[in-house]
Amino acid sequence: MEKLKYERPLIKKMNTGIPNKFGQKAAFEPVKYIDEVPVKQLIEKFGSPLFVLSEQRIRRNYRAAVRAFSTRYPKVQFAWSYKTNYLNAVCNIFHQEGSWAEVVSGFEYHKAINNGIPGEQIIFNGPYKDAEALNLAIENGSLIHIDHFDELYNLITLCKSHHKKPKVAVRVNMDTGVYPVWDRFGFNYENGQAWSTITKVLESGVLQLAGLHCHIGTFVLSVNAYKAAASKLCDLAMKCKSQHNHIIQYLDMGGGFPSVNTLKGYHPSGADAIPSIDEYAEVITETILNAGFEKDDLPLLILETGRALIDDAGYLLGTVVANKRLSDGRKATIVDFGVNVLFTSFWYEHKISPAQDATQHTEETVLYGPLCMNIDVLRESVNLPLLNAGDHLVVHKVGAYNMTQWMQFINLRPAVVLIDKSSNVHLIRQPETLEYLQTPELLPDYLKIVHG
């Protein structure tokens, strides 16, 4: 018989009353496997902490999203939002599934090109596009989404030297009933700026107005906001047809669909509060189909969904470093991953599971990262079983933004592995090393000797 695991003694106040007739479920389901691969084995092989991505989950999410839209609208195209997760392995899973690339900087643009994406399937968004990347985008025939007038004028000047007519879209911001209004991307609809930009683009003679774009927010929980946005874009597109006899080839609804994470201070939990992607698809497609486009003029619907497609495919595995008692008596647990790698812990109440069996007893704990910084708090209060140093934890739904916004700070960034559909584990990013970190550093000669 296996030796029972030691758990520290715990004194817990009895609460009267039970939340529901089945009683409160105190015990945590341990997560010992990710896609049939033992967590313990992953940590043994690749170290702790470790990001794990499930390819099967990514593909499933993508196909579900495509299914939701393409069974409601005849022409749908997804474009993978690079900033959400631009590990090449991840990008190429999306590209294999048929996704275009949506990039917001010169560096991302090059990344997409290096991944083998044809120029005309790259959407170039963002408030700042450097001249070199912009030139390349014109040359490659990429879709350039204009964010502000200075960019428009700049583009017109560049085009004159190129003798090419790039395909552009006007980025439109608008009141969608969600506050605060995201009015920083593109031109405003309500005050007429968007329409005046459209006119300027059409009259420039050197640009082809191919589409209209909006990006109404992130983690938008209101389906109706998309209805408002789609109807305003359709309105502009119809006006282009009626006033300029110009057909808008595509409407890009941007990103912003939420994942099933729980936002901080938000009740109930994510899975219950968040509309499904089908609900978004229904309002968007219905709005466009009923806008009055002629059948042949029906615009291509582009979606730059990022977070909703990958968040729940990412896991962060870590290890308990120590338990301690705070001055006010609360329990605290220190783990080996901090906010520098789990950036989203600033926004989400991440679900955290133990990776090994435990008794039903739990204790409220503050979960700290390993950084020597006061802000390194992963969960201010989380109920966890009684963990010992060396026990493993699994953080759920960390696929979006963490592997792009993470940073090397105090600790180096960990490895990332991908589990394919046959449960083979592929290392897709090595853990950082000191040597890697120092490669770009230069040391002036007189500083090379410390003890002179």
Q: How far is the CB of 70 from other proteins (least distance, A)?
A: 4
Least distance to other proteins, CB of residue 182, Å:
30
Cβ distance to other proteins smaller for residue 59 or 213: 59
Which of 141, 144, 135, 199 lies closest to 169, judged by CA?
A: 144
Q: What are the tokens at 376?
A: 């390194």
Measured from the CB atom, the residue of 40 and 246 that comes closer to other proteins is: 246
Q: Quote the radius of gyration of the chain (alpha carbons, Å).
A: 25
At closest approach, how far in Å is the CB of 421 from other proteins? Answer: 10
Is residue 36 involved in binding other proteins (CB under 8 A)? Answer: no
Site residues for other proteins, 44-83, by CB under 8 A, read 59-60, 63-64, 67, 69-75
Residue found under tokens 């470093």: 321
CB nearer other proteins, residue 38 or residue 74: 74
| Least gap, CB of 140 to other proteins (angstroms) | 10
13 binds other proteins (CB under 8 A): no
319 in Cβ contact with 393 (< 8 Å): yes
Our finding on whether 413 is near other proteins (CB under 8 A) is no
Decide whether 83 or 95 has the Cβ nearer to other proteins: 95
Please, which residue, 175 or 286, has the CB nearer to other proteins?
286
Write down the least CB distance from residue 262 to other proteins, Å. 20
Residues 6+ apart with CB under 8 A from 156: 204, 206, 207
Least CB distance to other proteins at residue 110 (A)? 21
Q: Write out the binding residues for other proteins, residues 82-121 only, by CB under 8 A.
A: 120
Judged on CB neighbours under 10 Å (0-12, 13-18, 19+), 364 is exposed
Length of the chain: 452
Sign of CA dihedral 4, 8, 14, 15: negative
Residue from 156, 202, 260, 289 touching other proteins (CB under 8 A): that is 289
Residue 229 C-beta: closest distance to other proteins, Å:
21
DSSP string, 252-312: E-------SPPBTT-SS-HHHHSPPHHHHHHHHHHHHHTTT--GGGPPEEEE---HHHHGG
Cα of 452 vs its chain's centroid, Å: 50
C-beta closer to other proteins: residue 254 or 299? 299
Place of tokens 């596009």: 129
Q: What is the per-residue binding string for other proteins in 128-147, x denoting contact by CB under 8 A? A: -------------x------
Answer for the pair 182, 225: CB distance below 8 angstroms, yes or no.
Answer: no
Q: Which is nearer to other proteins, 62 or 109 (CB)?
A: 62
Distance CA 302, CA 100 (A): 9
Residue 408 interacts with other proteins (CB under 8 A): yes or no: no
Match 């989400």 to its residue by tokens.
348
DSSP 440: T
Of 141 and 431, which CB lies nearer to other proteins in the complex structure? 141
Residue with tokens 């338990």: 323
Min dist CB 138 to other proteins, Å, is 12
Task: Please tell me the count of residues contacting other proteins according to CB under 8 A.
Answer: 20
Residue 105: CB minimum distance to other proteins, A: 24
What are the two backbone dihedrals, phi and then psi, of residue 77, each rounded to the nearest 5 degrees?
A: -140, 125
Determine if 295 is a binding residue for other proteins (CB under 8 A).
yes
C-beta of 50 vs 93, nearer to other proteins: 93
Contact by Cβ (8 Å): 403, 25: no
β-strand partners of 332: 324, 366
Residues in 255-284 that interact with other proteins by CB under 8 A: 278, 282
The binding site for other proteins (CB under 8 A) comprises: 59-60, 63-64, 67, 69-75, 120, 141, 167, 278, 282, 289, 295-296
